[in-house]
Amino acid sequence: MLVDDLGYAVELDRAPRRVVSLVPSITEAIAATCPDLLVGATDWCTHPGDLAVQRVRGTKNPDRAAIAALEPDLVVANKEENRELDVRRLREGGIPVWVTDIETVPGALASLERLLVVGLGQDRPAWLEEAAREWAGPVPAPTARVAVAIWRDPWMVVGRSTFTGDVVARLGWHNVFGGSAERYPHVGLEQLDRDDVDVVILPDEPYVFTPTDGPEAFSRTRTALVSGRLLTWYGPSLVGARAVLGAAVG
């Protein structure tokens, strides 16, 4: 009997041959490992760029009828990115759903290996081995104090217990909002633009920060524009992300 990251039994009559992914990171991981299995993905699944599968709307509002019409052997979801309501209704409709739960880099690598190797019956992919080597080792002592903005008007930042927060820590930075009671707290600009924050990191997703939209709000704290995919996605994007993010933030 297979179980997903939440301990829910996933009953499969055979090794999956038709998979729908509701998670952009996992869509990229499956496409890089076993592309022939992937038959559906969300509108937000932008990698790889030439992905040619049926689109089933968004992560928060998937078209369950369209998913059912694809006759998938398995739907892959994520605890944070997808609604429990949609997962439950898909299961009630007789569609097996594998839910991932990811808050750290090691957790992401272990979760993806279980899904790909145990759930989908694939060999451990080379990109997963490379990512594991790149991100191996203990969390280093922090050398800079950073904040990671994910939205503006109102400003929102990365708080506690998030995958992005763990990436930040493993890059040797201290997330000044990592002790927040919330995972993605609202903050005032004055809480970001202050002398004891070395860098405010501005990714291009979910809010699309650009050279003219974001940095101009800060007069005291340096900002760094980065790829949101490298900072927030887990999967093949982890390969090479450490060096690129380190160079961007400095």
List, for residues 24-41, the tens digit of each pLDDT value.
999 999 999 999 999 999
Phi, psi of 190 (to 5 degrees): -65, -20
Q: Domain 144-249: give its CATH code.
A: 3.40.50.1980
The Cα 101–Cα 162 span in angstroms is 11
List, for residues 48-72, the tens digit of each pLDDT value.
999 999 999 999 999 999 999 999 9
Q: How far is CA 52 from the centre of its chain?
A: 21
| Model confidence pTM above 0.85 | yes
List, for residues 131-173, the tens digit of each pLDDT value.
999 999 999 999 999 999 999 999 999 999 999 999 999 999 9
Domain ranges of the chain: 2-134, 144-249
Same fold, 2-134 and 144-249: yes
Helix (H, G, I), strand (E, B) or coil at 197: coil
**pLDDT of 183 above 80:** yes
Q: How confident is the model at residue 1 (pLDDT cuts 50, 70, 90)?
A: confident
Q: Domain 2-134: give its CATH code.
A: 3.40.50.1980
The Cα 52–Cα 35 span in angstroms is 10
